[in-house]
Amino acid sequence: MRHLIFCLTVLATAAGLVSAAPATAQSRDDQQRARAEMQAGNTMSRRDIERRVVPAYERRGYEYLSAEYDGTARVYRFKFIREGNVIWVDVDAASARVLRVSR
């Protein structure tokens, strides 16, 4: 049975169905990058940005779910939900300016 699971995993990885690197490794890298950028003075802290962005959407009836940092773009992506509809709000990490809202 273990051999079968191993073979299926190898085949799925080779077919591109399973990522070779776990998602937690990617998010850990982004967290480290976000911290380094903040310490260097290039970006604001996530908490500071949350204090500016989240209340504006909560006043509109959205519930704040989570946020991720994209170190390449230097953008935080905030996830909100209202009445079953999810939106993502991309925010510049240096200025806390909302760049884009997508549904």
Q: Write out pLDDT tens, residues 43-97.
A: 999 999 999 999 999 999 999 999 999 989 999 999 999 999 999 999 999 999 9
pLDDT, residue 31, reads 80
Q: H or E element: which one contains 42?
A: none
Q: Where are the domains of the chain?
A: 2-102
- Cα gap 7→5, rounded to integer Å: 5
Check: CB of residue 64 under 8 Å from CB of residue 54: yes
- The more confidently predicted of residues 26 and 15 is 26
Half-sphere exposure of 51 (CA within 13 A, CB side): 6
- For residue 39, pLDDT over 60 is answered with yes
CATH architecture for residues 2-102: Roll (3.10)
* Nearest to 70, CA basis, from 52, 102, 43, 47: 43
Model pTM? 0.70
- What are the percentages of helix, strand and coil residues in the chain, rounded to 5? 40, 30, 30
